[in-house]
């Protein structure tokens, strides 16, 4: 791993997860005391979900919107970087007065996913016996994560979401909401997502998981109390590099970086190309704000994603989605190609064709092309 990512790594905590005692930021918490039974067997003895809200819930609960984040996202959809939130909101231009999700009209809820690392129950959190979950954290599926979110909705007094919005991994959960809880889902926006993880998507995620587990500091997932510098930062950084290549398009990387060196560095004498520095930068950012074991848990849950499992196959499952649905993909996305969104749009009775987000940025276009995403939201909410 390059010097850019490891610089100061001996001072980094073992995990970038939010820790008890850290500033809460805008987070609130919902505690589910009873066990959550898991699709693959076993249970979690109790679940805590961190979440954030914007706007006010109507007296009849009819104006609630659920926003679901992608793999390394969290509940901080909107708002500045501040104590407790190392990064600004990842869809900051979408939520607020006069915006597509107008907080004078809508009550917006964004949970940190079960298995995540920004305040929700996950590997970095503590079990009832006071020990970290670590490597003993159970295997999760998207349906388990949605089951936890359904408990959160009940706790907030929300019987039915007016709209459920999700991109990438969040789109997987949004689709599970519509199929598994049709009576609680009023409309649906699916962005850059799929009905089932493909062989190539599983392959990319598997390589990233292996990179993390090959790090000597992985320690079977039980590294969280190893002290500064004791986490699998090298493995997580490598996983992020691999992932980020798939998140952007070849054309963008060529146009931005070409074969240029990084500043005065000479790639023939131990220096880096500009694109290598770019990957190092994103690896370094992630190890400071994310947890390696959560990355593994969430990646494996994404690999398990298949809305047709136990429902007669994908086509049969999609036919059950009759609510108004907007399906959109990014034209330059090579990780979740448009063919996958075309399958969703063709198979969902409530969908009216496929919308295409035009972007040079690849898969990350669903995060970066906020104005185009805002137009899709307005198409649903009016």
DSSP 202-213: HHHHHHHHHHHH
Give yes or no: 363 in active site: yes
From the list 87, 145, 84, 110, the residue with the least C-alpha distance to 294 is: 145
Give yes or no: 168 in active site: yes
- 184 burial (CB, 10 Å; 0-12 / 13-18 / 19+) is middle
Q: Say which residues have a Cβ less than 8 Å from residue 9's Cβ, sequence separation at least 6.
A: 229, 233, 287
Give yes or no: 277 in active site: no
3-state SS class at 28: strand
3-state SS class at 68: strand
Catalytic one among 9, 75, 168, 299?
Answer: 168
Q: Strands 107-111 and 28-32, how do they pair?
A: unpaired
213 CB neighbour count, 10 Å cutoff: 17
Strands annotated E in the chain: 28-32, 36-37, 43-44, 47-54, 64-68, 107-111, 163-167, 188-191, 325-330, 351-357
Catalytic one among 9, 277, 363, 364?
Answer: 363
248 CB neighbour count, 10 Å cutoff: 23
Catalytic one among 291, 333, 359, 364?
Answer: 333
d(CA 190, CA 107): 19
d(CA 36, CA 90): 29
DSSP 217-246: GGGGG--TTS-TT-S-HHHHHHHHHHHHHH
Positions marked catalytic: 168, 333, 363
């Amino acid at each position: 791993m390059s010097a850019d990512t490891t610089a100061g790594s001996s001072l980094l905590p073992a995990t970038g997860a939010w820790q008890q005692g850290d500033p809460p930021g805008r987070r609130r918490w919902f505690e589910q005391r009873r066990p959550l039974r898991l699709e693959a067997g076993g249970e979690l003895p109790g679940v805590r979900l961190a979440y954030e809200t914007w706007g006010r819930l109507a007296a009849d609960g009819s104006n609630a919107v659920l926003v679901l984040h992608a793999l390394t996202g969290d509940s901080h959809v909107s708002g500045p970087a501040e104590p407790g939130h190392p990064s600004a909101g990842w869809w900051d231009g979408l939520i607020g007065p006069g915006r597509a999700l107008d907080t004078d009209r809508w009550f917006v809820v964004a949970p940190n996913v079960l298995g995540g690392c920004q305040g929700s129950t996950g590997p970095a959190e503590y079990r009832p016996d006071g020990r970290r979950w670590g490597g003993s954290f159970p295997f999760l599926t998207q349906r388990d994560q949605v089951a936890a979110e359904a408990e959160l909705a009940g706790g907030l007094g929300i019987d039915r979401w007016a709209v459920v919005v999700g991109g990438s991994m969040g789109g997987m959960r949004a689709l599970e909401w519509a199929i598994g809880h049709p009576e609680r889902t009023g409309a649906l926006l699916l962005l850059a997502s799929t009905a089932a993880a493909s062989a190539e998507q599983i392959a990319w995620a598997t390589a990233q998981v292996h990179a993390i587990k090959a790090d000597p500091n992985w320690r079977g997932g039980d590294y969280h109390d190893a002290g500064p510098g004791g986490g699998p930062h090298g493995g997580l950084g490598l996983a992020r590099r691999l992932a980020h290549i798939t998140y952007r398009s070849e054309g963008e990387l060529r146009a931005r970086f070409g074969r240029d060196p990084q500043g005065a560095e000479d790639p023939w004498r131990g220096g880096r190309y500009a694109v290598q520095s770019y990957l190092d930068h994103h690896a370094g950012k992630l190890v400071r704000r994310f947890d390696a074991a959560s990355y593994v848990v969430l990646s494996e849950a994404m690999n398990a994603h298949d809305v047709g499992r136990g429902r007669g196959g994908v086509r049969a499952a999609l036919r059950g989605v009759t609510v108004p649905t907007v399906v959109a993909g990014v034209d330059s996305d090579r990780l979740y190609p448009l063919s996958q969104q075309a399958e969703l749009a063709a198979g969902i009775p409530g969908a009216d064709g496929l919308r295409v987000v035009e972007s040079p940025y690849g898969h990350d276009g669903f995060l970066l092309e906020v104005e185009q995403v805002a137009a899709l939201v307005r198409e649903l909410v009016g």
